[in-house]
Amino acid sequence: MDFIEACRKFISIDSTPTHGNKEVAEYAAKLCQERGLHVEVQKDFIGDIEHVNVIARPQAERPSIEFLMQTHLDTVEPGPFPLWTFTECNPFDATIIDGKIYGLGAADVKLDFLCKLEALASFEGPRNWKLPPVLVGTYGEELGMQGALRLIRKNKIAAKMALIGEPSDLKMISAAKGYASVEVRIPFSPEEIAYRQEHNLKESTSTQSKLFIGKAAHSSTPHLGESAIAKMLEYLQQLPDSVALMEIDGGVNHNSVPSHALLEIDIVPNSSRPIVSKVVKVYEAAKSLEKEFAKFVDKDFFPSEPTLNIGLIRTYEDHVLIAGSCRIPPIISNETYESWMEYLRKVCEENGSQFRVTDYKKPFRTNETSILVKGCRDELRAMGLSEELTTQPSTNEASIFSRTGIDCLCFGPGKREGNVHTPSEHVAVEDLHKAVEFYKRVIERFCL
């Protein structure tokens, strides 16, 4: 199977959080073995869904120190299939148009694994490695980077330097924001639960429904999207207290700006503290925090300030779930971060709601004087590509690996802004080949 066909196959395999990455990891392992690499798999369960790390080396034994080439094999959920117009409404059907591959994971970031494999496999036969390379495909990047964490906890690698796969438009990323993902559970009152159950049994209904349309984007660049949930909550702010909330739904995960949201209400006398007022209070607290964010500016990043995104809202039998995330640049101290979380917690508790931080990852920054940075700059310059150091407003596995003392750079084909976490996700075939060439040069420079 040639490189492009392998790319098509990779995209065709569902590796979303609700499906797991086992199938694509098994295919990746097979490709690595066919190219003469020695493969180890690391299996795990998140809930009842199996996930797999793939670890491939040119030699059978694990060395005492190595060069890590890592890419996560999972993707976000695709959202509504009809929005994937470039792939005939199927995000898993890779389509090439004008030299670009469209499909879920094309840029973020499954195909980067194949670029690294193509580069590593080109060094055939026994080699005298001075810093042996190790190729790793991880699971669960969209679930708190569980695969990277397990890789470290089980001591599966011994890396000194690392290239982390990220859609960077073939530029080096030397720093990235951290993030905190949070959940708020707002309970219905017993009266509201009883009313909703009774209402569902009636043959006729007096409810009103309203659909809100936004524009999807990655939560790290909310200015590129338009939050349908924010539109819905602002509409909810204008409604009277005598509103019964029947259904509120929007978004696909905490990590994406939501493109769709649905609200169903009934205008009836309600309890003295209806859930609508509690939802509005939580939203107002989030907006207040955004104003506070504007006071903290890190000019190395764009957006330069911390950002906040409400990415998911769901209605359950006895509560409403709100999930979101904050992006935190390196200038934010731990004390400031904790004060923000405490503020949200206090507002939620005052409204009888549960608040919890489900995940927290610190930002990372690699010094521009490091050997890794200098060497990669030389190779990009030799290829006629930009040697500029950039930053990333989102968070990736470099946050995990850098905490263990590994020098990290993020790099990959494909644009991020206006591309990843959208139904038009794509990558130029030419950029995939350029990434392969860059990885070959990096292996020759640092590993041989």
E strands in 118-267: 133-138, 159-165, 172-176, 178-187, 208-213, 217-218, 243-250, 256-257, 260-267
Which pTM value belongs to this model?
0.78
Q: Looking at residue 267, what is its pLDDT?
A: 77
Average pLDDT over the chain reads: 93
**In terms of DSSP bridges, do strands 208-213 and 260-267 run parallel, antiparallel, or are they unpaired?**
antiparallel
The count of other CB atoms within 10 Å of the CB of residue 333 is 11
Output the pLDDT for position 205. Answer: 65
- Could you tell me the pLDDT band of residue 325, with boundaries at 50, 70 and 90? very high
Determine phi and psi for 91, rounding to 5 degrees. Answer: -65, -15
For 359: left if phi > 0, alpha if psi spans -120 to 50, otherwise beta; the answer is beta
The mean per-residue pLDDT over the stretch 383-408 comes to 93
Token readout for 299 is: 């000019």
**204 band by pLDDT with thresholds 50, 70 and 90:** low
* Inter-residue contact 115 to 46 (CB < 8 Å): no
Domain ranges of the chain: 3-176+364-446, 178-361
Q: What percent of the chain has pLDDT above 70?
A: 98
**Inter-CA distances, 5 with 117, 167, 181, 323, Å:** 14, 21, 36, 37
How do residues 356-382 score in pLDDT, each as one tens digit?
A: 999 999 888 999 999 999 999 999 999
What kind of architecture, by CATH, is found in domain 3-176+364-446?
3-Layer(aba) Sandwich (3.40)
CB atoms within 10 A of CB 79: 21
